[in-house]
């Protein structure tokens, strides 16, 4: 039985929905493979707090933490770098011609103290040279401490010894991709990458909007994440994306085109055909938003749009379906916002079985500022429910499938409260339109987004790359990538 190591960051098995649902479905439907999970969480407070009952073919879960202690256990501690290791560190800090293999071995094969490294002269000398060459207009001490905070989580993860497997499959670039690249190098096993969203673009958007870093430090952090992605793109044998524009961005950000391939998401179509519908006595127009209550889902824009729509149409009701505890502060801000606006009929369900609610919705709403190919939208379409989404990821193409006249919903600009409110009213006021768009959605999923297609593609990938000697020197297929 081939062993596949799934590498994830900030998702499975701690978080439900989205990438986590995808991973769980993949593993469950490929019982002929053994899976181990290498998962990255923020702190040890999350250790063991799994939201999934793990499938039987998962034999181990290895947890790593971005904020962790200096992992030195033996008496003899390595505090300085060799000349070759210091040159590799310089290539990393400067973000040019990175010598990742040297660093992988330095961090995993030696008892290197992170505290000694980051507070020592080797790191200081490299950062000072980098500063003098490019950033000497800012205060050096601020610059030095920023570099330390930037590289600490990366170095912390690189000290974790990853599990051995026949194939490594990362769900993103970034930190997950770095651990996968390290494991692929150490054990000489192929690396596959599936990007559900483009990690570097998402981090860039977050950093640009953030208040915790300003000025040139935003550029420093953004370049750091682009560098991490280049590592994974370079070392992966095959790079999957969910839609064509994502594949184009991967190539634009440094992935060799011959490695790339589009494989659409898929859903269990039959599970959404006979859902329980709302009572005929229910006079409300029910709007459902299936999401984790986090900033990237832009729940505040959703609340505002619903508020303005409800001022014009009283019988609207919004169900926010999903976990509220992933970002407690943001959830509390949303609750406070609802109270300030005085908006009625907004219900947070918390964690529930989505199918228990989905069939009772008249409209499904998504207001995210970043997405890939959201499963919640595909599930709504399979259930014959019209959708309103922001113009993110593959949402426009999902809802139209190349035929705008037979689309399955309405697409609005990101963070545009007026357009979203208008779309809500357009569908809420026209039951015949809702029924027509819902049938279009069902037809689109039936034709293009059944889960059997994507499961079969990954089965073939695991069989191919799990064969000894395959993958490490292929560098992707020469035809320039293709689409499934």
Q: What is the pLDDT of residues 241-294, one digit of tens each?
A: 999 999 999 999 999 999 999 999 999 999 999 999 999 999 999 999 999 999
- Strand (E) or helix (H) holding 347: strand 346-350
pLDDT of the residue at 70: 53
Section 410-435 average pLDDT = 97
| Whole-number average pLDDT of the chain | 92
474 pLDDT band, cuts 50/70/90, is very low
Distance CA 95, CA 221 (A): 11
Q: pLDDT at position 283, please?
A: 93
The band of 77, judged by pLDDT with boundaries at 50, 70 and 90, is low
Q: How far apart are CA 117 and CA 81, in angstroms?
A: 8
pLDDT tens by residue, 167-181: 999 999 999 999 999
pLDDT value for 479: 38
Neighbours of 472 (CB within 10 A): 15
Q: Answer whether 260's CB lies under 8 Å from 476's CB.
A: yes
Residue 72 pLDDT greater than 80, yes or no: no
Binned at pLDDT 50, 70 and 90, residue 472 comes out as low
Q: Within 10 Å of residue 457's Cβ, how many Cβ atoms?
A: 16
| Signed CA dihedral, 29, 30, 35, 40: sign only | negative
Which pLDDT score is estimated for 482? 52
What whole-number percentage of the chain has pLDDT above 70?
95
- Tell how far CA 271 is from the center of its chain: 25
Q: CA-CA distances (angstroms) from residue 50 to 39, 63, 88, 177?
A: 11, 11, 37, 22
In whole angstroms, give the CA distance from residue 112 to residue 118: 11
User: Which stretch of 71-85, 318-332, 468-482 has the lowest confidence by average pLDDT?
Assistant: 468-482
Give strand ranges (E) for 70-136.
Answer: none
Q: Are 18 and 202 in contact (CB under 8 A)?
A: no
Q: Return d(Cα 479, Cα 259) in angstroms, integer.
A: 9
159 vs 484: which has the higher pLDDT: 159
More confident residue, 349 or 475: 349
CA-nearest of 277, 282, 284, 287 to 423 is 287
Closest listed residue to residue 376, CA positions, set 58, 22, 63, 115 = 22
Section 97-110 average pLDDT: 92
Report d(CA 432, CA 436) in Å as an integer: 6
Tell me which residue of 322, 313, 327 sits closest to 354, measured CA to CA.
322
Residue ranges of domains in the chain, CATH in brackets: 3-71+160-265+455-483 (3.40.50.2000), 83-150 (no CATH), 269-448 (3.40.50.2000)
Cα separation, 342 vs 196, whole angstroms: 37
Average pLDDT of span 334-348: 97
- Mean per-residue pLDDT, 355-366: 97
d(CA 210, CA 270) in angstroms, rounded, equals 42
Q: What is the predicted pLDDT for the residue at 60?
A: 97
State mean pLDDT over 64-74. Answer: 68
Evaluate if residue 344 carries a pLDDT over 60.
Answer: yes
Residue 142: the pLDDT is 96
pLDDT at 17: 83
- Other CB atoms within 10 Å distance of the CB of residue 479: 8
Angstrom distance (rounded) from CA 425 to CA 184: 52
- pLDDT of 475 reads 44
Whether 123 has a pLDDT exceeding 80, the answer reads yes
What is the reported pLDDT for 209?
Answer: 85
Q: Tokens 């790593």 identify what position?
A: 64
What lies within 8 Å, CB to CB, of 74 at 6+ separation is 111
Grouping H, G, I as helix, E, B as strand and the rest as coil, residue 380 is helix
How far apart CA 309 and CA 418 sit, in angstroms, is 9
Give pTM, 2 decimals.
0.89
Instruction: Give the mean pLDDT of 135-150.
Output: 96
Using an 8 Å Cβ cutoff, are 466 and 2 in contact?
A: yes
pLDDT band at 477 (very low <50, low <70, confident <90, very high): very low
Per-residue pLDDT band for 69 (boundaries 50, 70, 90) equals low
Average pLDDT in the 444-450 region? Answer: 94
Residue 142 DSSP code: H
Residue 74 has pLDDT above 60, yes or no: no
DSSP type of residue 54 = -
Phi, psi of 414 (to 5 degrees): -60, 135
Average pLDDT over residues 44-56: 93
Handedness of CA 17, 23, 28, 30 (dihedral sign): positive
**Whether residue 138 has pLDDT greater than 70:** yes
- Listing DSSP states for 421-484 in one string gives HHHHHHHHT-HHHHHHHHHHHHHHHHHH-BHHHHHHHHHHHHHHHTSTT-STTT-S-TT--EE-
pLDDT at residue 456 above 60? yes
């Amino acid at each position: 039985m081939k062993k596949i190591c799934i590498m994830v960051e900030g998702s499975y098995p701690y978080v439900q929905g989205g990438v986590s649902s995808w991973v769980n479905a993949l593993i469950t439907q490929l019982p002929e493979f053994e899976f181990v999970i290498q998962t990255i969480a923020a702190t040890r407070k999350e250790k063991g707090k799994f939201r999934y009952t793990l499938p039987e073919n998962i034999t181990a879960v290895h947890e790593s933490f971005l904020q962790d202690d200096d992992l030195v256990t033996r008496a003899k501690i390595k505090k300085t770098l060799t000349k070759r290791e210091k040159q590799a560190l310089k290539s990393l800090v400067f973000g040019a011609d990175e010598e990742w293999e040297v660093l992988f071995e330095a961090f995993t094969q030696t008892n290197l103290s992170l505290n000694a490294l980051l507070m020592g002269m080797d790191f200081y000398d490299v950062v000072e040279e980098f500063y003098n060459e490019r950033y000497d207009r800012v205060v050096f001490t601020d610059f030095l401490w920023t570099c330390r905070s930037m590289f600490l989580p990366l170095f912390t993860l690189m000290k974790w010894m990853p599990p051995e497997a026949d194939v490594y499959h990362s769900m993103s670039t970034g930190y997950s991709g770095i651990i996968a690249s390290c494991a692929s190098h150490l054990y000489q096993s192929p690396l596959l990458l599936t990007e559900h969203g483009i990690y570097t673009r998402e981090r860039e958007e977050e950093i640009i909007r953030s208040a915790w870093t300003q000025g040139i430090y935003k550029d420093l952090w953004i370049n750091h994440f682009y560098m991490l992605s280049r590592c994974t793109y370079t070392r992966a044998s095959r790079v999957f994306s969910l839609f064509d524009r994502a594949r184009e961005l991967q190539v634009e950000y440094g992935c060799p085109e011959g490695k790339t391939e589009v494989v659409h998401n898929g859903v269990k179509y039959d599970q959404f055909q006979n859902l329980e519908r709302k009572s005929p006595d229910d006079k409300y127009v029910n709007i459902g938003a299936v999401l984790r209550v986090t900033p990237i889902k832009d729940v505040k824009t959703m609340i505002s749009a619903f508020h303005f729509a409800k001022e014009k149409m009283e019988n609207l009701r919004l169900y926010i379906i999903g976990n509220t505890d992933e970002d407690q502060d943001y959830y509390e801000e949303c609750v406070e916002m609802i109270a300030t606006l005085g908006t009625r009929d907004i219900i947070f369900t918390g964690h529930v079985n989505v199918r228990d609610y989905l069939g009772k919705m008249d409209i499904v709403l998504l207001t995210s500022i970043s997405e890939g190919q959201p499963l919640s939208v595909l599930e709504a379409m399979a259930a014959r429910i019209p959708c309103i989404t922001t113009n993110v990821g593959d949402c426009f193409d999902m809802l139209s499938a190349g035929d705008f006249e037979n689309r399955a919903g309405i697409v609005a600009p990101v963070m545009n409260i007026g357009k979203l409110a208008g779309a809500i009213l357009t569908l809420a006021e026209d039951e015949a339109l809702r029924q027509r768009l819902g049938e279009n959605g069902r037809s689109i999923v039936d034709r293009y987004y059944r889960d059997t297609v994507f499961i079969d593609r990954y089965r073939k990938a695991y069989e191919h790359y799990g064969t000894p000697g395959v993958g490490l020197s292929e560098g992707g297929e020469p035809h320039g990538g293709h689409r499934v």
